[in-house]
Amino acid sequence: MSKNVINIQNNANNSEKGYPLFLGEDLGFADTINVTYPELAALYEEQRSQFWLETEHNLDQDRIDFQTCDPAVGEVMIRNLMSQWLMDSVAARSIMSLLEPFASNNEMIDILSVWSFFEGIHARQYSFIMRQCFIDANAVLERAKSDVNVAYRSKIIGKVFNEVMEVGAKYSQGYDLDILDVKKAILKTICAVYSLEAISFMGSFACTFALTETGKFQGIGNGIQAICKDELLHAKFGKTILNILLYKEGYMSIFEEFKEEFTEIFVEALKQEFSFNEYIFSEGRHVLGLTTELLNEYDKFIAKPIFDSLGMQWSEEFGEVPKQNPLKYMDKYVNPDSIQAAAQEITLTAYRVGAVVDDTNGMEFDF
């Protein structure tokens, strides 16, 4: 039987008080009366409150910075932005389309919609940077399209997403599929997206913020900091969904049976980062205070806890993991609320739109 987009009579989850994340009855009403997973509902609200526009960051000085800085430094920013642009472009159009065919939970649908929407803002931010900072932005796009290293950084998510797209299409059309294969495809998708958000993006941001630490590209830095705040939340999306599937919906046996395959997704993501770190500093490109080795150490520092939390074996080829953050400057970018700065000195990005505090308690009003 093919997927039914209006399923009212056959969906009894509201009375049964439980909508499974995936592979349950097709949905009818958008039901926020009966919430199965309040943790997902809370994450959805948090993401909505962080709304921002890609055009709100002034890039006039950044355009001048590109024209006046050492070309070997500017090229690090350009090529790093190219890879971020591609990764967000893929995420923006894939997350919802890949998982929606299987989704049977309203909180999950909300998460997928807001997740894709914000990834779209991110992709538009990179396009905006190119339009504002370069006379011929399309020439930059052509360079990005022909750069195999930019494409390689997204290889593992592209591979997984292509596989799952086929499964989703067949599932939606009512093909008789092995339910184990479908659940495995869902887990692979979440693992791939989680590796993107928690590893690939964080390593990329480390490179961007190293450049803003030199005093240049402050407008770009503000835009990327807004993206970084979102991606940290998206990493929570991925881990929370995985936790629900593994510990509440019975996917743990599948995860354990195919753990090597799931581990390989994270291993490949980390290898891709190491490869890009070497590439970004090749051909004389450089950034003050940052090297390939330091970026590799940072990638290991943020990746190892993810491997540990999922019970995945750390590959010996990656070597020892630093006990402390090797890029201390990242603390203020990854935790923007900890920055103490006067509003007149910098453009604050640690704000929340739509959050209201009731300070009227005890006040009297005449009407």
Q: For 316-336, give one letter per residue: b (16+ CB within 10 A) or e.
A: eebeebeeeebbeebebbbeb
Q: Examine the pLDDT at 297 and tell me if it is beyond 50.
A: yes
Band (pLDDT 50/70/90 cuts) for residue 15 is low
Which domains, and CATH codes, for the chain? 13-338 (1.10.620.20)
Mean local confidence (pLDDT), 321-347: 68
| Range 345-349, long-range pairs (CB < 8 A, 24+ positions) | 346/218, 347/57, 347/58, 347/222, 349/222, 349/225, 349/226, 349/229
Band (pLDDT 50/70/90 cuts) for residue 7 is low
pTM of the model: 0.88
Mean local confidence (pLDDT), 7-28: 78
DSSP string, 243-303: HHHHHTSS-HHHHHHTHHHHHHHHHHHHHHHHHHHHHHT-TT--BTTB-HHHHHHHHHHHH
Q: Examine the pLDDT at 26 and tell me if it is beyond 60.
A: yes
Q: Residue 280's pLDDT is what?
A: 96
Q: Examine the pLDDT at 293 and tell me if it is beyond 90.
A: yes
Mean local confidence (pLDDT), 329-356: 52
Pick from 230, 214, 196, 272: nearest CA to 124: 230
Q: What is the pLDDT of residues 203-257, one digit of tens each?
A: 999 999 999 999 999 999 999 999 999 999 999 999 999 999 999 999 999 999 9
| Range 146-149, long-range pairs (CB < 8 A, 24+ positions) | 147/79, 147/82, 149/79, 149/83, 149/275, 149/276, 149/279
- Residue with the bigger pLDDT between 66 and 352: it is 66
Band (pLDDT 50/70/90 cuts) for residue 25 is confident
Pick from 73, 75, 79, 126: nearest CA to 276: 79
User: Helices 201-212 and 218-247: crossing angle, nearest 10°?
Assistant: 160
Contact 109, 41 (CB under 8 A): no
- The percentage of residues in the chain with a pLDDT greater than 90, rounded to a whole number, is 81
Q: Residue 89's pLDDT is what?
A: 95
Distance separating alpha carbons of residues 303 and 195, to the nearest angstrom: 9
Distance separating alpha carbons of residues 216 and 67, to the nearest angstrom: 11
